[in-house]
Structure 1
Amino acid sequence: MNTSSSGSSRLQFAILIATIVAAGLSQGLLLPLLTVILEEMGIPSHLNGLNAGMLYIGTFAMMLFVEPLLGRLGYKKLLSSGLIVVLIALVLFPLFPNLWVWFLLRFAVGMGDSALHYATQLWVITSSPADQRGRNISLYGMSYGLGFSLGPLGMTLKPYGEWLPFAAIAFCFLIVLWLVVTFLPNRRAEKPATGATAERRYAKAFRWAWFALMPAFLYGYTEASMNTSFPLYALKIGIDAHWISFMLPFFGIGGLLLQLPLGILSDRYERKNVLMAAGFIGGIAFLAIPAAGASVWGIALLFAVAGGMLGSFYSLGLAYVADILPKELLPTANVIATYLFSIASIIGPNLGGLGIQYVSAQSMFWALGGLFLLFTLLGFAYRQKHAAQR
């Protein structure tokens, strides 16, 4: 009985991991791929960035009602719905290569991705035994990072047909959808708290843990800027498009390699200090990228350093939140972190596109480096007044 239950749990976890890998693949590919295609179509940089931001507007929009939706549908139906929405959009992208149609499709992808992320993350958290929860969440985060890092490699299929990268990711989503529908059980979720009490919880969680929640904003801004604005930067300084798919994965690879070591360091030493040190080194790496010029290997190396320091910023930030807040405020803090991530992901491509268009191609790295150095400075001012109940 126990063996059967254990095997079923492992299968469920494996399917959830496969789902998040597919989600990472789609986001890692679509951001640079659509940016390059729109650039080749002659779309201005600021409209290109605005189009990319629609994905995160969709993510933000879904978060406004995803909690009650989960309560009505349950995990499996919400997850399946998100997969279907993204799958349909992937099929439609190459069929309708039009800026305004892509605004709608990117919005739809954002909503679908948000739904499947929310469902899978909560499913992993609530179904994991207490003594394995940290390990499982780390594997979850690393799986998304792996998919996101490998996603840009799909651009190498573009010379054989612009539809081929979309078809490859759509096929992955089709397989995952089959696994979810066939093997995952129907599981209901508890209804979220609403009303004035919930509003007070949001205010309290943010007031107590604002510094620990900042990494969610910074990670969202960095992820969106790197995958949307960097292709524009590379093309502006004379780097061929085929090198973009080679360089971008170095950021994710750096994060994958150092995610576990940084997590161990943050367990042994004060988590705030690890975040500040990582933010400082990552910020310096971003500021150094313009000095590398058009050197592919120079940029790739700096990407690896920045990614290694900042690739686990989101998860380290949430771990620090857990150090600060009592357990009853942690779900609230996770929703706040998602909102901050979405807002930053909307701002990143638009600010990056405007900066490249009207200021300088290097402005995106000045902004990234400046934000992380500011975060480090704010760390000296932040004083933890509350601690989570152990």
Structure 2
Amino acid sequence: MALKLLRSNYQLTTLIMVIIVAGMSQGMLLPLLTILLDRSGVSTDTNGVNAAALYIGIFATMFFIEKPVRRYGYKPVIMIGMSLIIIANCLFPVWQQVGFWFVLRLIVGIGDSALHFATQLWIVASSPKEKRGRNISLYGMAYGVGFSLGPLGITLLKVGIWVPFMVTSAFFLLILLLLTRLKNEKPERAERAEAAHKRATSVISFAWFPLITSLLFGYMEAAMNSNFPLYGLRIGISESTIGLLLPVTGIGGLIMQLPLGIWSDRIGRKPILMGTAIVGALAFSCVPFVGTNLWGLGLCLGVAGGMVGSFFSLGLAYAADILPRHLLPTANIIASIQYSVGSIIGPLVGGIALHYLSVFSIFYFLGLVYLLFGLSGFIFKARTA
């Protein structure tokens, strides 16, 4: 019994470490590649399109990744996903060309999607019922911690262009070694596609409001990490300072995640989501007015991240309040798809807005979408499916 518990704890710890490193990689690559392309004279709209490639890879992978996971098990898929990211990381500094990097970002997206899909399913399937919620929360927090630490890798550019990529690859190789000690497992057989299609229609009908949160979270996360470096450079902030400011949004989300979850249990998910959306909208809209004041920027980004950084998890929790248990897996799939769509749209809209409108437009757009979401809560009336 003690050996089984020890093995279970080792498995969970290893999978959490996989997610931390994956979050670090994703959090570093978005701003780092944006800065390097900007250095080489690439326009902001082209830069935004290039940044979206990662999320296109993530989105496309979701349509075929279940089959290899079911056939070969979790462990091989995670290892292949990590290997793809390592290979792409090693190739980025070799040739700084937009088309080449677009392909590499697609590969990173495929690798990210594979390891996240398999890791999340493995944690859910292997966790006892009484610990499943806690373990999934650890998964979310691990990604948040990694993603927040990732932009610090920009500071390694001072040492050399290869250094940030090699450091990230070294972390992945270390986790790969730990992963080899895990015993492989396979998921249960998936349900029929026809039934899944019917469930998806029901989920969207009853829970459109809580599920929009995943779209907004993906949009915010990708827009901030892809477009904020360009914004910072345009208003005169140094690259190293950008690397220090970027994690502030994620740190704000981590700090407020548990308090907002507790308050949503007591007050209700809907009023918390509406209130945080409106406050977050105001915080994003204030960013242009603080200019290059680092304390002002840090405060605005920290408040905005604290308010909307828990949107994905709070949205799923609200969906769980409304939907019967058999529809929750479908809600998770829809949320993941919407997160990917938002992540693709974010850099595209931000890059085009920076190029054709104004340098401040990315924050006005963020403020607008969160304000509209907050107000749409007055329209949504929860029904039990």
2:24 is equivalent to residue 37 of structure 1 = no
Aligned residue in 2 for 1:154: 153
Residue deviations 1:311-366 (CA, integer Å, cap 9, x gap)? 11111111111111111111111111111000110010011000000001111001
Aligned residue in 2 for 1:384: 382
Counterparts of 1:166-315 in structure 2, within 5 Å, are 166-181=165-180, 183-315=181-313
Contact 1:67 1:191 in 2 (8 A): no
Q: CA deviation at 1:191?
A: 2.5
**Partners of 1:82 and 1:348 in 2: how far apart?**
24
Deviates more, 1:202-211 or 1:50-59: 202-211
RMSD: 1.0
Aligned residue in 2 for 1:110: 109
Query: Structure 1: which amino acid aligns with 2:4?
Result: S
**Partners of 2:261 and 2:7 in 1: how far apart?**
29
Residue deviations 1:66-121 (CA, integer Å, cap 9, x gap)? 12221112111111111111111111111122111100000000010011111111
Query: Structure 1: which amino acid aligns with 2:155?
Result: T
Aligned residue in 1 for 2:345: 347
Aligned residue in 1 for 2:8: 9
Aligned residue in 2 for 1:142: 141
Aligned residue in 2 for 1:86: 85
**Partners of 1:256 and 1:145 in 2: how far apart?**
7
Residue deviations 1:40-75 (CA, integer Å, cap 9, x gap)? 000011110000000000000100111222111211
Deviates more, 1:219-228 or 1:297-306: 297-306
Deviates more, 1:30-39 or 1:80-89: 80-89
**Partners of 1:244 and 1:194 in 2: how far apart?**
47
Contact 1:68 1:191 in 2 (8 A): no
Q: CA deviation at 1:252?
A: 1.0
**Partners of 1:46 and 1:133 in 2: how far apart?**
42
Contact 1:71 1:191 in 2 (8 A): yes
Q: CA deviation at 1:194?
A: 3.1
Q: CA deviation at 1:229?
A: 0.5
Residue deviations 1:176-208 (CA, integer Å, cap 9, x gap)? 111112x21110112322332221111111111
Aligned residue in 2 for 1:19: 18
**Partners of 2:265 and 2:124 in 1: how far apart?**
19
Candidates 371, 374, 379, aligned match of 1:373:
371
Matched position secondary structure for 2:292: coil
Query: Structure 2: which amino acid aligns with 1:7?
Result: L
**Partners of 1:154 and 1:184 in 2: how far apart?**
29
Identity of aligned residues (%): 50
Matched position secondary structure for 2:223: helix
Contact 1:56 1:107 in 2 (8 A): yes
**Partners of 1:265 and 1:6 in 2: how far apart?**
33
**Partners of 1:3 and 1:320 in 2: how far apart?**
37
Query: Structure 2: which amino acid aligns with 1:144?
Result: Y
TM-score computed with the length of structure 2 as normaliser: 0.98
Where does structure 1 lack aligned partners over 5 or more consecutive residues?
none
Size of the aligned set, in residue pairs, is: 385
Contact 1:45 1:356 in 2 (8 A): yes
Deviates more, 1:326-335 or 1:34-43: 326-335
**Partners of 2:206 and 2:69 in 1: how far apart?**
28
Query: Structure 2: which amino acid aligns with 1:366?
Result: Y
Deviates more, 1:127-136 or 1:297-306: 127-136
TM-score computed with the length of structure 1 as normaliser: 0.97
Matched position secondary structure for 2:93: helix
Matched position secondary structure for 1:132: helix
**Partners of 2:351 and 2:53 in 1: how far apart?**
14
Candidates 327, 330, 338, aligned match of 1:329:
327
Residue deviations 1:135-194 (CA, integer Å, cap 9, x gap)? 11111111111100110111111011000000000000111111112x211101123223
Contact 2:154 2:239 in 1 (8 A): no
Deviates more, 1:125-134 or 1:330-339: 125-134
**Partners of 1:269 and 1:130 in 2: how far apart?**
25
Matched position secondary structure for 1:131: helix
